[in-house]
Amino acid sequence: MKIIATDITNLTDARYFAAWGVHMMCYNIDPNTEGSLTVPQFKEITEWVEGPLTGIKIAGLAVPETMSEEGLNIKNVIISPFIDKTDLPSSIENVYRICTLEEGWQDDDKLILTLSKSIDQLSEVEVKSIKSITTNKEVFLDGIFKASDLPNIESYGVTGIVLKGGDEEKVGYKSFDELDEVLEALFD
């Protein structure tokens, strides 16, 4: 199962996820949204990290001007339901669209399916819907996961899951206990 790490705002998170060998790490460089990095901050963090694909997450209503800044070389992007893919730079190779079961899925081939409840609270109809979507689309589930959820998630046929970074407790220090449990269960 692949992992996309999002909401990375510090080198501590970036190095942690890179050490686990996640598939892709996504950063927010949209100055109009909360938790965004400046382009220099983004470049500084990504220069220290090797291995995973690098992506940008656009959670707002429009493609930020920062996407066109020189030297970004972004090939992967996660976009909100409100973004028109034709507004993205032509250099983008992989576009993942955020959607929910309640809203229905988009026509895109790659989806980030955001769950509004925990895995053990999904109804049979919701699970059937997820399995239906995964038959012909690359789907990553985005939610709050426990290690015990992984067998169910794997049975849905999804490509992977989305895990999130967060604030450091102090510069260079953060507890990863909850994430460790999920990642250890995935990679054991």
Domain boundaries along the sequence of the chain: 2-187
Model confidence pLDDT, tens digit, residues 25-50:
999 998 888 889 999 999 999 999 99
Chain CA centroid to CA 42, Å: 16
Confidence of residue 54 (pLDDT cuts 50, 70, 90): very high
Question: CA 61, CA 155: separation in Å to the nearest integer?
Answer: 33
Contacts of 145 (CB under 8 A, 6+ apart): 119, 153, 161, 163, 182
pLDDT above 70 covers a percentage of the chain that reads 97
Terminal Cα-to-Cα distance of the chain (whole angstroms): 12
| DSSP bridge partners of 51 | none
Question: CA 30, CA 28: separation in Å to the nearest integer?
Answer: 6
- Of 98, 76, 175, the C-alpha closest to 142 is 98
Model confidence pLDDT, tens digit, residues 123-136:
999 999 999 999 98
Question: CA 117, CA 119: separation in Å to the nearest integer?
Answer: 7
Q: Would you state the pLDDT for residue 105? A: 62
Tell me which of 74 and 73 has the higher pLDDT. 74
Q: What architecture is domain 2-187?
A: Alpha-Beta Barrel (3.20)
Question: CA 109, CA 120: separation in Å to the nearest integer?
Answer: 26
